[in-house]
Amino acid sequence: MNPINLTIFNEFVHERKNEAVQKVYPNGMHEAIAAHMRLQPGISVRCATLDMPEHGLNEDVLAATDVLIWWGHMAHDTVADAVVEKVHARVLDGMGLIVLHSGHMSKIFRKLMGTSCSLCWREAGERERLWIVNPSHPVSQGLGPFIELPHAEMYGEFFDIPDPDELLFISWFEGGDVFRSGATWHRGKGKVLYFRPGHETYPIFYNPDILQVLVNAVRWAPFSGSPNVTTITACPQITEPLEPLRPAT
Amino acid sequence: MNPINLTIFNEFVHERKNEAVQKVYPNGMHEAIAAHMRLQPGISVRCATLDMPEHGLNEDVLAATDVLIWWGHMAHDTVADAVVEKVHARVLDGMGLIVLHSGHMSKIFRKLMGTSCSLCWREAGERERLWIVNPSHPVSQGLGPFIELPHAEMYGEFFDIPDPDELLFISWFEGGDVFRSGATWHRGKGKVLYFRPGHETYPIFYNPDILQVLVNAVRWAPFSGSPNVTTITACPQITEPLEPLRPAT
Amino acid sequence: MNPINLTIFNEFVHERKNEAVQKVYPNGMHEAIAAHMRLQPGISVRCATLDMPEHGLNEDVLAATDVLIWWGHMAHDTVADAVVEKVHARVLDGMGLIVLHSGHMSKIFRKLMGTSCSLCWREAGERERLWIVNPSHPVSQGLGPFIELPHAEMYGEFFDIPDPDELLFISWFEGGDVFRSGATWHRGKGKVLYFRPGHETYPIFYNPDILQVLVNAVRWAPFSGSPNVTTITACPQITEPLEPLRPAT
Amino acid sequence: MNPINLTIFNEFVHERKNEAVQKVYPNGMHEAIAAHMRLQPGISVRCATLDMPEHGLNEDVLAATDVLIWWGHMAHDTVADAVVEKVHARVLDGMGLIVLHSGHMSKIFRKLMGTSCSLCWREAGERERLWIVNPSHPVSQGLGPFIELPHAEMYGEFFDIPDPDELLFISWFEGGDVFRSGATWHRGKGKVLYFRPGHETYPIFYNPDILQVLVNAVRWAPFSGSPNVTTITACPQITEPLEPLRPAT
């Protein structure tokens, strides 16, 4: 069986600007996630950051990527539109995409959703509990009935996203809010997961349950559908009908 | 009861360039639709075309529009991005949008969907039959079990759209194809309907069943939800929690 | 315009057995709801209770009912299967159904859902906050961004229901739980809403926001779709095809 | 890796009563499917028929079954309600269920759907073409853009089912009809697929594309979700809240 080719994109800005972040993620959040992924059988890991040429996401990399994890926050606007277009096309063509936390405002996520992806937020280190509401889904494998995070940034409704194809997790927050924290959509031949947890100053990406979700998601997200259906061609004309037409009258 | 303010956008290019089209729609497709809408109680009609300043869709018009019908085909690229942005924001804020036929490739529809919106097509005047697959939906009011069009352009799967919130019609085509011909999504506070029929050289917009669908859609599409939820703000921070937080430890 | 014919079913057992309940709802919960509905223009109200012949839901009543509200709890098993069958057939034929609170375990709701409809619960008078997650929906009209109930019974996930067609409200509970508190499905030509609030000892059915939701729901639920599609016939054979078939070979 | 335990249920009545059926499926349709499944690595096959004690579906068999395929037609009413209850509970607890063709009117499918599951039909050996409308789904793996069957019984809309969680195939029929031929739902922790093809007198279950769909479905359907969420318990009371409640006032 071929390994799953995973690329982890992190804008990697907070970690180099802010000491508090550096302490939690000395090599960047991508490396925290990558370290865990490298321990999993059948997953091959590559990292990409904003400062690389084409943000580390050139055509060859994208073509060879089965699943792309995306973390961004303060530098969304710096991501080149040309790269966003290529990532978008690759998702429609079957690449899985896992968008984490503040990635909800990334260009690629907003382009795939078609909405503002706006939400409410508060940074007060409050308790979060993610309840599983779709226990049949592979992304919840080995978990449940909930995941608890002692300290988290709050994201609250209304979260302006299209109705998910599958709603996986709903978060409860100490301060009185709720949030649709895990949701999937398919776009073309690609699968998309939004997963809420993952702030730069809380050690969320060391939490075993969160890592379990990410591993599950990486195993779920690769293309496994119909290769003979095209999704990104510009409206092919089919001159010859499959069935005979009535003679013109 | 206030009337529904309907704006009908038509790029209005075919009708001025092509004699065959002119014969079918001498005043443009928008006027064929508008004429029928003006006969309906409680619907107030305005038209907008590509050649008007801001395509007839400036902020005042959009603010005063409850439902926007969109027809475009050969001039999609000519639609100004700034207008598309404003229409998009207005949909998220509650304006209904009805996209017709070749409008599937319009900038606004693709932006709202997040996919390529590609499909297959053939222009051979073949028979189409639209089967109702959601008889509980107000857009199918007074119709069914199917609508028959003696001559239509074929649109075939795979139609690269997100899974509809509601699938209303599935088309059968003489030449052997099927198509998801009526589908709805909500985006923010706005409702979106894609409705397939409506070619420039077939007299589709004089067909009583098609007109019935359009009237139903115009009555269904206006905002009727929660005015106190904001959808286009850029992530408001909520400093004060609704519930007391545990003291920091 | 014809009035909406609303029938309110209440098992009406708690109110006659328990003094605390009687104090809150001296004439039964149905009468509390009915009193508010009678004030609304265009809604005609009838009540039905378990102790009536056929539970007040004979064929004539059902045939004349556009929307049925259902409250039950301790006497679910006493509801006659024959009545459940008739209500079920009437929903498939277009009657709207609004199931309240403990009605989640009623025979009719479980039959329509196909799942156990099980959930977790706690009766501790805790605070509940229902967040609107679909602000485009008519059932949320005039509300938002949330409804607050100072004291409520807790219902928690996992709520074993099919994925809703539309998820309208998510509840936050003081004790740490969340719940999908408002959800719709269509079944055949009928619309179904499950709405969580409504315990027998809390004065929930006097809360103006809750009553607003119920009025919205009663206006949304009546049949407004395609009358020419049949949903409860047993598989009609269509001998004559709409299109000519190839000669047999 | 453990094998997938597949049980194939066939009522096995037509094949013993009707010579034409016997000729096509001398050992029954279940054996035609089973023969192909036995060739697949990692699938362990068992068959069950109506005439066995408890229809071959006693508690031990169900507990050891990861995926159940169901074919029934003329003897739906003969299936014992007690067996249906057990199969239903097992689906909610995570067993995958694949319902074929005329199984749409089986007790178990109707119980899981909550609707009449009625449809239109015609037996005229006409051509069917199943178009893939969700190319991201594992059940469409290796196929597409369509599957063609030269001779098939027609099933036509309106098919009275709940909106599918995922719509996979739409059929075109020579006689002018369409049908939602592949659709999934989850119920509790279990996955359900309805797949239309499979008549007793056409050699559908020898068609390589149909067999491919069935193999894909058997690999997709087993439980892979959250084992710690219960779906069939009757509403557990949770006395101790996860969070401290305000003191009663």
The answer to whether the CB atoms of A229 and D135 lie below 8 A apart is: yes
pLDDT digits (tens, 9 = 90+) for C116-161: 999 999 999 999 999 999 999 999 999 989 999 999 999 999 999 9
Answer yes or no: is pLDDT of A248 > 90.
no
Q: Which residues of B touch D170 (CB under 8 A)?
A: 157, 170, 178, 180
Q: How far does C167 lie from chain A, in Å, by closest CA?
A: 8
Q: Exposure string (b/e) for D26-40, b if CB count within 10 Å is 16 or more?
A: eebbbbbbbebbeeb
**Sole residue written with tokens 């859609």:** B217
Burial class (CB in 10 A: 0-12, 13-18, 19+), D182: buried
Give residue B234's pLDDT. 77
Q: Exposure string (b/e) for A119-154, b if CB count within 10 Å is 16 or more?
A: bbbbebbbbbbbbbbbbbbbbbbebbbbbebebbbb
Which comes out higher in pLDDT, residue D236 or D216? Answer: D216
Q: How far does D228 lie from chain B, in Å, by closest CA?
A: 28
Whole-number percent of chain B with pLDDT over 70: 99
Q: Given A114, A177, A245, which is nearest B114 (Cβ)?
A: A114
Answer yes or no: is pLDDT of B248 > 80.
no
Q: Which residues of C touch B92 (CB under 8 A)?
A: none
pLDDT digits (tens, 9 = 90+) for B91-127: 999 999 999 999 999 999 999 999 999 999 999 999 9
The alpha-carbon radius of gyration of chain D (Å, integer) is 19
DSSP one-letter string for chain A: -PPEEEEEEE---HHHH-HHHHHH-TT-HHHHHHHHHHTSTTEEEEEEETTSGGGG--HHHHHT-SEEEEE-STTGGGS-HHHHHHHHHHHHTT-EEEEEGGGGGSHHHHHHH-S----EEEEEEEEEEEEES-TTSGGGTT--SEEEEEEEEEEES----PPPSEEEEEEEETTS-EEEEEEEEEETTEEEEEE----SSS-GGG-HHHHHHHHHHHHHSS--S-TT--SSS---B--S-SSPPPPP-
Phi first, then psi: give them for residue B72, nearest 5 degrees: -150, 160
Instruction: Tell me the three state secondary structure of residue B120.
Output: strand
Amino acid identity for residue C146 in this structure: F
> What's the token pair of residue C162?
């099919």
The answer to whether the CB atoms of C174 and D241 lie below 8 A apart is: yes
Give residue C233's pLDDT. 74
Q: Which residues of C touch D118 (CB under 8 A)?
A: 230-235
Give residue D86's pLDDT. 98
Answer yes or no: is pLDDT of D232 > 90.
no
Q: Given C132, C166, C229, which is nearest B226 (Cβ)?
A: C132
> What's the token pair of residue B36?
């029928």
Q: Which residues of A touch B105 (CB under 8 A)?
A: 235
Q: Is the alpha carbon torsion for D136, D137, D140, D146 positive or negative? A: negative
The answer to whether the CB atoms of B226 and C144 lie below 8 A apart is: yes
Chain B within 8 Å of C1 (Cβ-Cβ)? no
Answer yes or no: is pLDDT of B47 > 80.
yes
Q: How far does A1 lie from chain D, in Å, by closest CA?
A: 13
Residues 6+ apart with CB under 8 A from B2: none
Q: Given A132, A163, A178, which is nearest C131 (Cβ)?
A: A178
Helices B29-38 & B208-220, crossing angle to 10 degrees?
70
Pairing of strands B166-173, B120-132: antiparallel
Mean pLDDT, rounded, for B214-234? 91
Closest chain B residue to D135, measured at CA = B158
The complex's ipTM works out to 0.96
Q: Is the alpha carbon torsion for A136, C198, C187, D85 positive or negative? A: positive
Closest chain B residue to D174, measured at CA = B176
Chain D within 8 Å of C20 (Cβ-Cβ)? no
Chain C within 8 Å of D82 (Cβ-Cβ)? no
pLDDT band for position A215 (cuts 50, 70, 90): very high
Q: How far does D244 lie from chain C, in Å, by closest CA?
A: 6
pLDDT digits (tens, 9 = 90+) for C212-235: 999 999 999 999 999 889 877 778
Closest chain C residue to A145, measured at CA = C158
Give residue B249's pLDDT. 60
The answer to whether the CB atoms of D118 and C165 lie below 8 A apart is: no
Instruction: Tell me the three state secondary structure of residue D214.
Output: helix
> What's the token pair of residue C96?
């709207």
Report the mean per-residue pLDDT for chain C: 95
Answer yes or no: is pLDDT of D238 > 80.
yes
Chain C within 8 Å of D227 (Cβ-Cβ)? no
Q: How far does D57 lie from chain B, in Å, by closest CA?
A: 35
Give the count of beta carbons closer than 10 Å to the beta carbon of residue C146.
25
What's chain B's length in residues? 249
Chain D within 8 Å of C74 (Cβ-Cβ)? no
Mean pLDDT, rounded, for A113-125? 96
Q: Given D129, D138, D189, which is nearest A242 (Cβ)?
A: D129
Answer yes or no: is pLDDT of A145 > 90.
yes
**Cα(B193)–Cα(D215) distance, rounded to whole angstroms?**
36
The alpha-carbon radius of gyration of chain B (Å, integer) is 19
The answer to whether the CB atoms of C242 and D116 lie below 8 A apart is: no
Pairing of strands D67-71, D178-187: unpaired
Longest Cα–Cα distance in chain D: 78
pLDDT digits (tens, 9 = 90+) for C174-188: 999 999 999 999 999
What is the dihedral angle through the alpha carbons of B58, B61, B62, B68, rounded to the nearest 10 degrees? -110
Answer yes or no: is pLDDT of C249 > 70.
no
Q: Which residues of D touch B149 (CB under 8 A)?
A: none
Q: Given A92, A118, A125, which is nearest B231 (Cβ)?
A: A118
- The domains of chain C, with CATH numbers, are 4-115+180-220 (3.40.50.880)
> What's the token pair of residue B47?
């038209």
Q: Which residue, B200, B195, B110, is CA-closest to B161? A: B110
C residues 127-186 near A, CB within 8 Å? 129, 131-135, 145, 156-159, 163, 166-167, 170-173, 176-178, 180
Answer yes or no: is pLDDT of C54 > 70.
yes
Give residue D144's pLDDT. 87
Q: Which residues of C touch A166 (CB under 8 A)?
A: 163
- List residues bridging with B172 in a β-sheet: B129, B178
Give residue D231's pLDDT. 79
Closest chain B residue to D132, measured at CA = B158
Q: Given A131, A156, A158, which is nearest C178 (Cβ)?
A: A131
**Cα(D81)–Cα(D83) distance, rounded to whole angstroms?**
5
Q: How far does D115 lie from chain B, in Å, by closest CA?
A: 13
Mean pLDDT, rounded, for A6-23? 95
pTM flag (> 0.80): yes
Q: Given D121, D177, D238, which is nearest C122 (Cβ)?
A: D238
pLDDT band for position A136 (cuts 50, 70, 90): very high
Using CB atoms, list chains with 3+ pairs below 8 Å to chain D. A, B, C
Give the count of beta carbons closer than 10 Å to the beta carbon of residue D123.
13
Answer yes or no: is pLDDT of D234 > 80.
no
User: What residue spans of chain C are helical by DSSP H?
Assistant: 14-17, 19-24, 29-38, 59-63, 81-92, 107-113, 208-220
> What's the token pair of residue C187?
């079944």
Does a cis peptide bond (omega within 30 degrees of 0) precede residue D145? yes
pLDDT digits (tens, 9 = 90+) for C156-177: 999 999 999 999 999 999 999 9
pLDDT band for position D249 (cuts 50, 70, 90): low
Instruction: Tell me the three state secondary structure of residue D38.
Output: helix
Give residue A249's pLDDT. 59
Q: Which residues of C touch A170 (CB under 8 A)?
A: 157, 170, 178, 180
